Structures are given as structure tokens and as C-alpha cells.
Amino acid sequence: MKTSRIIWIVVAVILVLLVFRGCSGYNSLVTLREQVERDWANVENVYQRRADLIPNLVATVKGYAEHEQETFTQVVEARAKATSINIDAANMTDEDLKRFQAAQGEISSALSRLIAVAENYPDLKANQNFLELQAQLEGTENRISTERRKFNETAQLYNTAIKTFPTVIFAGWFGFKERPYFAAQEGADVAPTVEF
């Protein structure tokens, strides 16, 4: 009788420990998932800040370079395309993130062309409003880089957690899915050629 009671107590203790470990693992996964979603919201926030700066920048450049209509159209179209892409952080896929990155890359390319146009207009380059907008845009690009890095770090912690034992068991049971990372743009590994 004593032996069976001891066995039942040991089994009960082991079950209680497993339940507590399960709860702890689940709660950790939820916390990490929420951090990934928070960091994604921060990424979207800085991209939105950049999108909000574009109309003012285009309007300022337009005042000096009216015959550059094609460049203005490209910038406006790229902005419209990028702001139309909405990604649900809870169900983000690699394809979603690649589509988002491609649209943001189009904005970056269009903005580079717009800034290059400004180089042809000395009065514009000296315009205080233009200089201020250009500085804000540079600061926003730095924020984008920082937030993307933070998102990748948090996604890496989350992805590691859902793949390690024993939380991999709970991740599978409760539908925790791997999150994609931001990757370098194609051709980013090749240094640009500078000619003087």
C-alpha cells in the first residue's frame, strides 16, 4: 500500500511539473509572438513616416523643376503601391515580406531619382524647406534600418523558441508559426562603381 501511494505521489508531482512547464513555455511563446508583432508595427510606422514625407518633398521639388513630371509620377505611383500593401503580422509569410520589400524598394529608387533631379537645380538645393525634408528623409531611412534590424532580432528569438525542445511541442499544438526575416535587397552585396 505504501509503495503504490509513493508511486502515485511521484506521478502526480511529475504531472504537476509538466503542466507548469507547459504553461511557462506557452506563455513565453505568446510573449515572443507579441514582441514580433510590436516590432513589425514599428517597422510599418517608420515606413509610413517616409510615405508621409513624400508628398511634401515632391511638392517642394515641383515648384522648382516643373518639367520633371515623369519623375514625380514615378515617386507618387511607388508611394501609392507601397502604402496599399498591408501585412497581418500574425499571419506574415515570406512572400508577403518580399512583396512589401519590393514595393519599398521601388519607393527608395524613385526617391533617389527625385533627389538626383534636385541636384540640377541650385535654387532648390539651397531651399530651406527642401533641405529640412531631405534631412528628415535621411533620418527616417536610418530609423527604417534600425527597426528592420530589431524586427529581425525579435523574429530570430521567436523562431528559435518555437524550434527548441520542449517548446516545439507547444508551438505545434497551439499553431505558433515561423516568422520571415528582412533580407538584403538583391545586388546589395555588390559595391557600386564610382567614376570621376
pLDDT tens, residue by residue, 53-83 = 999 988 888 888 877 888 888 999 999 999 9
User: Rounded distance, CA 118 to CA 128, Å?
Assistant: 13
Average pLDDT, the chain: 87
Q: Is the pLDDT of residue 116 over 80?
A: yes
Torsion of CA 147, 152, 154, 158, to 10 degrees: 150
> Residue 187's pLDDT is what?
53
Q: Is the pLDDT of residue 52 over 50?
A: yes
Q: What is the pTM of this model?
A: 0.81
Q: Is the pLDDT of residue 195 over 50?
A: no
Exposure on the CB side of residue 97, measured as CA atoms within 13 A:
20
Share of the chain above pLDDT 90, in %: 50
> Residue 193's pLDDT is what?
47
> Residue 62's pLDDT is what?
84
Expressed in angstroms, the distance from the first to the final Cα of the chain is 93
**Arithmetic mean of pLDDT, 109-132:** 86
Burial (CB count <10 Å: 0-12, 13-18, 19+), residue 25? buried
Torsion of CA 117, 189, 182, 85, to 10 degrees: 30
Model confidence band, residue 155 (pLDDT cutoffs 50, 70, 90): very high
User: Rounded distance, CA 50 to CA 45, Å?
Assistant: 9
pLDDT tens, residue by residue, 165-192 = 888 988 998 899 999 998 876 654 444 4
